Structure 1
Amino acid sequence: ETYYGRITGHYRVIDSLATLAFDYPPRGEYFRAELEQFLLLVREENIDPLTVTGSYTGAMGALQFMPSNYRRYAVDANTDKHRDLWTDWDDVIASVANYLHEHGWEAGAPVLAEAKLDPDPSFQIGNAHRIELNQTIESLNAHGVKVETDVPPDTAAVLVSAEQRDGPAYRVGFKNFYVITRYNGSARYAMAVYDLAQAITQRVHGTEP
C-alpha cells in the first residue's frame, strides 16, 4: 500500500477529511463520519491533530487505514500505550493481522490453487475488482475448470484470471483469498500478497511452502 511504509502521504489528515466532509456532497456523509472518528482517535492517542499526515482521502500510516478502521483494528502490540501505524512495525504487523482475523481469516486454510480452464461458452470469470465466492469446487468442475486442490467439493471458491508473460492463466481463490480482498479489492493485489508471502516462506525455511 505504501511502498513498505515509505510513502504514507503528505496531506494534513484533518484538512483532507474536513474538505471532503463539507465540500464533496457525493460522499459527504461518509467523510463527516470519518472526521469524527479522526478527532476521537487523536484524543485517544494523545496526538496533535494538526500534525497527522496521510493520503488526500485521510488514510493513514503504513496500512493506509481510514480513521474508523484505525480505531477498530489497530493494535498496541508492544504495549507502549500507543497504536503507531507509521513507525512501529510491531503495531503495523499486529494490526493488519487483526484486520484479516476480524474479516474471517482461517489459519492454515488454503488461499489459492492453480486451475486449468476449458469452460463451456456461457461460463464467466469473476470480476477482478469485485471478488465474490460465487462458485464451489464442484460447480467449477462442472463448467470445465480443473482445480489442483484437495479441498472438499462444496468449498466456496472464485475463479480469477492471472495473466502471465507467456499468456493467460487461471487460479481459484478460497475464503482466505476473499479476506485479503477486504483489505484491497483487487484480485491482482491479493494474488501478489499471496505470492510474496509464499516467496518469503520459501526463503526463510529453505523449502517449498
Structure 2
Amino acid sequence: MLKNLQSLALLSPIVLLAASAPAQAFDIKRPEVRSFIETMTRDHGFEKAKLEALLKSAETRQPILDAISRPAERVVPWHEYRDRFLTEKRINQGADFWLAHGEKLKQIPDPQLADVVVGILGVETSFGRITGRYKVLDALVTLGFDYPPRGAFFLSELQEFLLLSREEKVDPASALGSYAGAMGAAQFISSSYRKWAVDGDGDGHRDLWNSWDDVVASIANYLTDHGWVNGQQVVVNATLNDPDMSRFDVKLALNETVQSLRDKGVRFETELPPDAPAMLIVAQGKEGPVYRVGFNNFYVITRYNRSPMYAMAVHDLGEAIQNFMMDAER
C-alpha cells in the first residue's frame, strides 16, 4: 500500500477543506505529458483523443502538493494514538458493521482475520465514512507531473488507475479518493486495487466504493497474500526483566524468535513454538514504556501500513469490537 494509510482518518478535516480550494487547469502540451500519452496509446491501446480529453479535464491542485509536502507532525505517543481509534463511538460503529455484514465476514476462514479486516476498516475510514473527496485523476496527475520527489511512483499509479478504470468500468473523471489517490473504504491505491482486489459479491466487477462484499474480501485477500497464517496469534503483551534495551534491535522486522526474546528476558505467553519468528514492540504508554511481542500475523498487518502503532490499533480495535459484541449477547 501507499503512505501511512491512517493519515486520511487523522487529517480528514484538512483534506476536506483543501478539496474545495482553487485548482489550475492541466496543460497536456507539456513534453512529459505528451510522452505519457504516447506510452499509454502505444503500449496499452488507449485512444489518443479520448485520453487527451480526459487529462485535459484534470486539474492541478496545490492543496494536494501542500498535503504531501507537509512537515511531519510530532510523533504521537502510543497511548494518544490508541485513544483516537479505541473510542466508544467507533466500537459501536464496528458492531453495527458486523451486524450488517456478518455473513460475508463469517466466510473468512480465520475469525481472527475477520476481526482484523474490521479493525482496518475502522482505522482507515471509520467504516467508509471518511474516504477522501479529491478526484483520483486530479491527485495522480498533480503528484505524477508536479511532485518531483515521487513523480515516477505517482505516474506509475496514474497508469494503473487508467488501466483499472478500463477494466472495472470506473469513470476516471469522477472517481474520488484521498489526496494521494487511495480509494474506497479499504483505501487501496491503484496498483494494489488491480493486484489484490477481488469480486466478493460475484457481479463480475471489483468495486471498492460501493460493494462491501468486495471490500471485505479484498482486504482479506491482501492480508492472506502477504502471509497471514490462520489461527496464529497476532500480538501479546510482554514485560522485561531488565529495562536495558541495548540487547535489542527494535525495528519493523521479524528479527527475533520466541526463544531468543525469552533468552533476553522478555516475559510473555504464547503457544507458538520456540523457533517462531517474532519482534519486540516498544510503545509509549501513559506511565512509561509498553512492551508487546508481535508474530507473523502482526507483521502482515504492517504490510498494509508500515507502522507498528497502526497494526496495534487495528488489532486492538478489532478485538474490542468483538468483545463488545460478545458482552452484548450475554
When the two structures are superposed, what TM-score results if normalisation uses the length of structure 2? Answer: 0.59
Partner of 1:49 in structure 2? 172
Q: Which residue identity is paired with 1:16?
A: A
Q: Runs in 1 of length 4+ with deviation above 6 angstroms? A: none
- State the shift of 1:70 in Å: 0.5
Aligned partner of 2:305 among 184, 189, 192: 184
Aligned partner of 2:239 among 116, 127, 136: 116
Tell me if the contact between 1:21 and 1:29 (Cα under 8 Å) persists in the aligned partners: yes
Tell me if the contact between 1:9 and 1:54 (Cα under 8 Å) persists in the aligned partners: yes
- State the shift of 1:4 in Å: 1.7
Partner of 1:99 in structure 2? 222
Which whole-Å deviations, capped at 9, do the CAs of 1:38-91 have from their partners, x for residues lacking one?
000010111221011111111111111110000111111111122111221111
Tell me if the contact between 1:125 and 1:161 (Cα under 8 Å) persists in the aligned partners: no
In 2: Cα distance, 1:48 partner to 1:204 partner: 39
Tell me if the contact between 1:137 and 1:153 (Cα under 8 Å) persists in the aligned partners: yes
Tell me if the contact between 1:13 and 1:54 (Cα under 8 Å) persists in the aligned partners: yes
Which whole-Å deviations, capped at 9, do the CAs of 1:79-114 have from their partners, x for residues lacking one?
112211122111111110000000000110111122
Tell me if the contact between 1:125 and 1:160 (Cα under 8 Å) persists in the aligned partners: no
Q: Which residue identity is paired with 1:143?
A: K
- State the shift of 1:150 in Å: 2.4
In 1: Cα distance, 2:255 partner to 2:297 partner: 14
SS of structure 1 residue aligned to 2:271: coil
In 1: Cα distance, 2:214 partner to 2:271 partner: 36
Q: Which residue identity is paired with 2:275?
A: D
Gaps of 5+ in 1: none
Residue 255 of structure 2 is aligned to residue 134 of structure 1:
yes
Which whole-Å deviations, capped at 9, do the CAs of 1:123-182 have from their partners, x for residues lacking one?
23623xxx1001111111222111211221111101112444443321100000000000
Which deviates the most, 2-11 or 116-125? 116-125
Identity of aligned residues (%): 56
Tell me if the contact between 1:17 and 1:35 (Cα under 8 Å) persists in the aligned partners: yes
Higher percent of residues as helix: 2
- State the shift of 1:15 in Å: 1.3
SS of structure 1 residue aligned to 2:280: strand
In 2: Cα distance, 1:199 partner to 1:16 partner: 35
* Structure of greater relative contact order (alpha carbons < 8 Å, 6+ residues apart): 2
In 2: Cα distance, 1:27 partner to 1:168 partner: 35
Aligned partner of 1:89 among 197, 207, 212: 212
In 1: Cα distance, 2:290 partner to 2:210 partner: 38
Q: Which residue identity is paired with 1:19?
A: T
Which deviates the most, 158-167 or 45-54? 158-167
Partner of 1:11 in structure 2? 134
Residue 317 of structure 2 is aligned to residue 196 of structure 1:
yes
In 2: Cα distance, 1:103 partner to 1:150 partner: 22
- State the shift of 1:206 in Å: 4.9
SS of structure 1 residue aligned to 2:125: coil
Gaps of 5+ in 2: 1-123
Partner of 1:143 in structure 2? 264
Larger gyration radius, structure 1 or structure 2: 2
When the two structures are superposed, what TM-score results if normalisation uses the length of structure 1? Answer: 0.91
Which whole-Å deviations, capped at 9, do the CAs of 1:9-63 have from their partners, x for residues lacking one?
1111111111211112221111111111000001011122101111111111111
In 2: Cα distance, 1:50 partner to 1:109 partner: 43
Partner of 2:100 in structure 1? none
Q: Which residue identity is paired with 2:246?
A: S
Q: Which residue identity is paired with 2:189?
A: M
In 2: Cα distance, 1:121 partner to 1:56 partner: 39
Which deviates the most, 106-115 or 172-181? 106-115
Tell me if the contact between 1:20 and 1:28 (Cα under 8 Å) persists in the aligned partners: yes
Number of aligned residue pairs: 204
Aligned partner of 2:290 among 169, 181, 185: 169
Q: Which residue identity is paired with 2:234?
A: V
Q: Which residue identity is paired with 1:38?
A: F
